[in-house]
Amino acid sequence: MLNTEDSCLFEEIRPRLLGLAYRILGSLADAEDVVQDTFIKWQKSDREKIQNERAWLTTVCTRRCLDELRASHRSRVNYVGGWLPEPLHTSISPDTSHELELASSLTTAFLVVLDRLTPKERAAYLLHEIFDMPYKEISKALGLNASACRKLASRAKVHIDNATVRNSTPVEQQNKLLDAFHDAVTNGSIDHLAGLLSDDIQLRADGGGKVAAILEAVKGKDAVAVFIADKLHRYWRGHQWEPVEINGGCGFLLRDQGTITATVSFGYDNQGVLSDIFVMRNPDKLNDFEIITIL
């Protein structure tokens, strides 16, 4: 059983563990299950044999995440349409460069790129680049030697850097985009929005086979502009719009007669131009959309 000191230590580390698990899994519900499993193992552990509690808990959490990824592989293969990570209603006001780094690693665009990596590449990159864990400790978490972990993280970093998704777009620029996007959908005019779209922009949606949603991404400036002014205008012009913070960035929560029907989040290139639009329609991923604190 845990004493008060051990319980307090776990609660102090919980946001870090939840943040790690969410970034690896892309699902808050699965991340919370992993953290709870980590807590149970912490309860049963012999703390006298644990030299570094934070490293031990991070290792246990990481291994459980990798187990979860293996177990969920079949359901992901059979997923209907495009998959997007579960949106989080965050409340982040970065005061330091490290906090800004953490916020940039929560964006939908970043998590989508992470999902393209192998599970161990994903874990190695996050543990080293985001959570500042030395390779010696990462090797224990992944069951590999430090050199192999360094190579995993290096390959992941190249892929992520090439995707240019670790950007910090000023809030003022984000709000300008939100105003233009809202105007385009509600009025069916893309004159203001068109100049903010990159040439290779993509619009992706996740309905999970539960509700109507596009199955393939809409690609290219002209195609995306037409889709917004035509399809989204007809679908959403009567919805209630609520500006919210989603995964560390500015986005929208949409309701129809009080029921949440979608979230919209955005990705930007390194020039601050809109490069991605992410629409979450899957009701299973919208049920628990409430403010949550993770690192």
CA atoms within 13 A on the CB side of 87: 30
Beta bridge partners of 253: 242, 263
Instruction: Give me the helices (H) in the chain, please.
Output: 4-25, 28-44, 53-71, 73-77, 97-104, 108-114, 119-125, 135-142, 146-163, 171-187, 191-194, 221-227, 233-236
Residue range(s) defining the domain that contains residue 76: 4-87+97-163
Region 213-225: mean pLDDT is 94
Residue 99: pLDDT over 80: no
Tell me: do 190 and 133 sit in the same domain.
Answer: no
Residue 292 domain-assigned? no
Q: Which tens digit of pLDDT belongs to each residue from 1-25?
A: 567 777 888 899 998 999 999 999 9
Residue 55 domain-assigned? yes
Most confident of 70-79, 161-170, 274-283: 274-283
DSSP state of 271: T
Q: Please state, in angstroms and rounded to a whole number, the distance separating the CA atoms of residues 18 and 184.
A: 36
Q: Mean pLDDT of all residues in the chain? A: 89
Tell me: do 229 and 257 sit in the same domain.
Answer: yes
CATH number at residue 8: 1.20.140.160
94 is written with which tokens? 């970065």
DSSP state of 195: T
Q: Please state, in angstroms and rounded to a whole number, the distance separating the CA atoms of residues 12 and 103.
A: 19
Q: Please state, in angstroms and rounded to a whole number, the distance separating the CA atoms of residues 34 and 212.
A: 31
Give, in order, the Cα–Cα distances in Å from 10 to each of 35, 90, 291: 10, 22, 21
Residue 294 domain-assigned? no
Q: Return the closest-CA partner of residue 111 out of 169, 171, 66, 166.
A: 166
Region 117-127: mean pLDDT is 95
Per-residue pLDDT, 78: 76
Tell me: do 150 and 120 sit in the same domain.
Answer: yes
Residue 44 domain-assigned? yes
Per-residue pLDDT, 114: 93
Tell me: do 154 and 214 sit in the same domain.
Answer: no
Tell me: do 158 and 191 sit in the same domain.
Answer: no
Tell me: do 216 and 198 sit in the same domain.
Answer: yes
Tell me: do 16 and 113 sit in the same domain.
Answer: yes
CATH number at residue 237: 3.10.450.50
Q: Return the closest-CA partner of residue 62 out of 149, 2, 190, 3.
A: 149
Residue partners of 68: CB distance under 8 A and separation at least 6: 25, 30, 33, 34
Residue 156 domain-assigned? yes
Domain count, the chain: 2
Task: From 142, 163, 184, give the residue that closes a domain.
Answer: 163
Q: Looking at per-residue confidence, does 23 or 103 come out higher?
A: 23
Per-residue pLDDT, 7: 83
Residue 117 domain-assigned? yes
